[in-house]
Chain A
Amino acid sequence: MKENIVLEAVHLKKVYNYATPNAFEALHDINFQVHEGEFVGIMGPSGSGKSTFINNISTIDECTEGKVLINGKNVRSMSANEIGRFRYQNLGFIFQDFNLLDTHTMYENISMPLALAHVSKAEIEKRVNHLADELQITSLLHKYPNECSGGQRQRGAICRALINNPHIIVADEPTGNLDSVNSSELLQLLQKMNRENGVTIVMVTHDPLIASFTTRLVYIKDGNIETVLDKGDMNQDEYFNQIVELNSRESREILAK
């Protein structure tokens, strides 16, 4: 199965304020693999290192020690140009705050990754309209993000993340600013992309219900991978109960102290 590994962290260590008196080790010697077509959830208490971890494995941040391999290639050995190219060709990011440029219309925001990939004007128009239609945001394309609701903005952000048909989607609390209806719709959409298009998804979340949409759950605590939970043959309800139990166990341990 080694050939199916799309993302791999080997002895990953992240130290903030490295070589200063305020040095803080956020991640300790983490080994982690993501296989092609997986939907991985990252959970953990606040300050456990979830976002640091996701930033390090997705080229946003650089690890202090160890290495990150994407499609077998060490990120450290990639030049700035290669990383940039790699991002718009392979990665799609979805964030809690949507991170759309409010100085640009939705259409312009969504077109950016395609423009970076030197796609022609006609092809951009075709692909943006097609995906916008699928995500039901065609009527919003010429609006600015601050004229749209949270759910509409997140759809715009997803549209931008998907427009280049990325192999991996990295989502950092994508439902954090959405109501329950929009959260559920977003999760179903991510699940559909994962199942039907084989897109690999790595998603950080706090919510056990949202985590139950994944196929594997990685629980991080104090900068270490504490538990890994595989969905396997469980149905979503059983998987959800396991996740709740895992979270409760961790909470009970803290209370016992």
Chain B
Amino acid sequence: MIKDVCNSLMNDKVRTFFCWITFTITSMFIFLFFTVAMSDAVGVTMIRGKSDIPTILMVASVILCSVEIVFANDFFIKNKAKSLAVRLVCGATYTQNASYLLLQTVLILLVALPVGIIGGLFMLPLINVLLVNMMHTDIEITLNFQSVLWAFIVLGYVIFWTLLLNLSFSYRNSAAQLLNPNGLKNPQPKELNIGGKIGKVFGKFLHLALWIAPILMFYYQKQLVLPCTFASLAGYILVLNDLFLPFLNTLIKNKISNAESIVSIGFFRQDLKVLRLSLMLFIVSGTLLISMLTSTDNPIYQVLVLITYISMNVLLAMSIMFKFANEVSDRKLKFRTLSHIGFLDSAKSRIILKEVFYLYLFIVVSILIYLVNIFATLYIGGLLTMKTMSTLLIGSIIPICICGVISVFYYRSAVLKK
């Protein structure tokens, strides 16, 4: 079994590496977070929290980490479906298959955990520098036993969560389902047509208003940034479904004589359908943390929120990347079909570049629409400095851009490799 597990990990080096790096960053973040939160300066204890902000942050980060782990794990085990099916057909029991998956995850975790914690130890002096230089305090965060203990407990929870996911994956999939995952695809949702053409136009305006009006509300009520973001995101999804996706259909129709555009915009349209929820999660997480950042004057709390904000953005950008990678890993046959039709390798390369560019540009613009408005509101109200704004902006956009670049390389290796 161990030999099988090691072979499986080595046969899929890229996915193994991505999974490892996710677990490493998660471990590093959780370790750092608990070290700061449980330091004498913040003083959070698990028995009775002193302050609301670190407690809310703790809950939010554990939830977001779990979501991110779900995506990373999904990406990791997707390729294992066939080998699991073969094992089932050969007579492996559910327990054997579950152990086969669990062992792979545990091995990755065993390598990721120490690296993450050592990385966290190296990051600790940087946080102290941040506290002195940026927040102008003389607080020093030191390592304490309680934080290490709780970091391990939370990491244990995350590991448990991952193991549970893998168990359910092997339990819910029969050999037939694993061998023929396409048979499970849902048909496209039907378009509703209420009130004819006028109703349709009115509906579109309504959706646009539902998206934009709550954003404008930021300027009137700074305290309502978070609920307004939630309200606006409902409008955002409606605009995406009823305005942007039909706009892409029209765009393809208008560019029908441009072969590369048809393919790249069509793929981009599909990516948006798959990634919209992850994008919303990114926006909600950012808004929540920015709201928390501005609701406290305590520099140590601010550092804690800042660490969480940057870590969450990195992890959520990675989760978007994993979901995208999951989507494109099924496209090898599609690219082979493109070759049969007459697309050259150079054209396919350009299609990949264009698709990834459109997708990540869309993600960055969507995030910026929210962040810029929130920043403007807070800046006008004197709650945010230019320096913090720049840090927050960079902390949001850079991880997305890096994930975009990695996506191009992964996409190419997944579909163009002979």
Contact = CB atoms under 8 A, between A and B. Distances in A.
Interface of A: 60, 80-81, 84-89, 91, 93, 97, 99-101, 103-105, 108, 111-116, 118-121, 124-125, 143-144, 146-147, 160
Contacts of A101: 263, 266, 334, 337-338
Given A104-B266, A112-B259, A60 B340 contact: yes
Contacts of A84: 342-344, 347
B270 A103 contact: yes
Interface string B326-367: 000000011011111111111100000000000000000000
Contact of A112 (B185, B262, B345, B346): B262
B133 interface: no
B256 A111 contact: yes
Interface in B239-285: 249, 252, 254, 256-259, 262-263, 266-267, 269-270
A80 B344 CA distance: 7
A103 B266 contact: yes
B262 A104 contact: yes
17 contacts: A84-B342, A84-B343, A84-B344, A86-B342, A87-B342, A93-B340, A103-B266, A103-B267, A108-B266, A111-B262, A112-B338, A113-B342, A115-B258, A121-B257, A125-B256, A146-B185, A147-B187
B340 A147 contact: no
Give the most central of A113, A119, A120: most B CB within 10 Å.
A113
B193 interface: no
Contacts of B341: 87-88, 93, 112-113, 116, 160
B221 interface: no
Question: In the complex, which of the residues B185, B187, B267, B344 has the most CB atoms of chain A within 10 Å of its own CB atom?
Answer: B344
Given A80-B344, A85-B342, 15 more contacts: A60-B340, A80-B346, A84-B343, A84-B347, A86-B342, A88-B341, A91-B342, A93-B340, A99-B336, A104-B262, A111-B262, A113-B341, A116-B341, A118-B257, A143-B188
> Secondary structure of the B side of the interface?
helix
A84 B401 CA distance: 33
A71 to B, nearest CB: 16
A108 B252 contact: yes
Given A115-B257, A121-B254, A121-B257, A103 B343 contact: no
Interface residues of B, number: 30
B340 A87 contact: yes
A82 B213 CA distance: 54
A116 B343 contact: yes
B266 A99 contact: no
A146 to B, nearest CB: 6
A147 B186 CA distance: 9
B383 to A, nearest CB: 44
Contacts of A124: 256-257
A89 B342 CA distance: 8
A133 to B, nearest CB: 18
A241 B193 CA distance: 56
Contacts of B338: 101, 112
B344 A81 contact: yes
Interface string B22-50: 00000000000000000000000000000
Nearest to B346: A80
Nearest to A94: B340
A103 B269 contact: yes
Contacts of A97: 333
A99 B188 contact: no
Nearest to B347: A84
For B263, B334, B339, B341, the residue with the greatest tally of chain A CB atoms inside 10 Å of its CB is: B341
A112 B188 contact: no
Contacts of B187: 146-147
Contacts of B333: 97, 99
A80 B345 contact: yes
Nearest to A80: B344
B340 A120 contact: no
